[in-house]
Amino acid sequence: MSDDTTEDAPVIPERLPIVDYLQLGDDPHLLANECTDCGARYFDRRNACAKCGKAEFTPSRVADDAVLKSFSIVHRAAPGIPVPYVSAIVETGDGTSVRANVVGLDDPMTAELGMNLVFTTYGCGTDDNGTECVAFGYAAA
């Protein structure tokens, strides 16, 4: 049997994004599915546009700058989830709403409605293969 037919060992990625709309690489960012007809943006796998009903989408980069539109300081969560943390709804500079945590605050109570934020990424775990999971959040600008 020649080497050509040897099955390749599976490639184990060093890092994976926590969700597929997080793009890693040298310039990490969020990538939305944008309706080519009405411009509505989505992060999930789409069948059609919930706003206009059309079914064509194009990938669209989401801006990194954001404003804190709403938040909650979560003290009670499922077992094993570190608390407290600041859950946030942010509006990016190009008008896209994103749900994520506000990260990097020494005291969660210093979160303020309207504060300026910027997109960031960080490692949030490692699986049995040694692959790192990369999450995103927003830090004070």
Partner 1 sequence: MSDAVWVLGTSMTRFGRYPDLDAVDLASQACMDAMVDGGVTIHDMDILAAGTLFQQGGMGQRVQKQIGQTGIPVYNVTNACATGATAIRTAHLAIKAGEAEMGLAVGVEQMGKMGLLRGGAKDDTNVYEPAGRFGAVTPIDGILGTETMPGVFAQAGMGYAYENDGVGFEQFAKVAYKNHLHSTLNPLAQYRKEFSMEEIMGSPVQSYPNTLLMCCPTGDGAAAAVLVSEEKLRSMPSEVQKRAVKISASVLTSDPWVESGQVQPDVNTLTRNAAAQAYETAGIGPEDLDLVELHDCFATAELIHYDNLGLCERGGAGDFIDSGAPFRDGRIPVNVSGGLISKGHPIGATGVANVYEVTTHLRGEAGDRQVEGAKVGLAHVIGLGSACGIHILEKAA
Tell me 13's DSSP state: P
Among 50, 55, 118, 141, binds partner 1 (CB under 8 A): 50
CA distance linking residue 24 with residue 45, whole number of Å:
18
34: helix, strand or coil: strand
Tell me 21's DSSP state: T
Tokens found for residue 46:
């789409």
Contact 126, 108 (CB under 8 A): no
Nearer to partner 1, 6 or 75 (CB): 75
Contact 68, 92 (CB under 8 A): no
CB of 101 to partner 1, least distance (A): 6
CB of 26 to partner 1, least distance (A): 21
Among 23, 60, 87, 120, binds partner 1 (CB under 8 A): 87
Q: Is 32 exposed, middle or buried (0-12, 13-18, 19+ CB in 10 A)?
A: buried
Among 31, 63, 105, 133, binds partner 1 (CB under 8 A): 133
CB of 114 to partner 1, least distance (A): 7
> Is residue 44 close enough to count as binding partner 1 by CB under 8 A?
yes
User: Which span (1-9, 14-22, 54-62) binds partner 1, by CB under 8 A?
Assistant: 14-22
Q: Give me the residues that bind partner 1 (CB under 8 A), please.
A: 16-21, 40-45, 50-51, 69-85, 87-89, 91, 95-101, 109, 113-114, 124-125, 127-129, 131, 133, 135-136
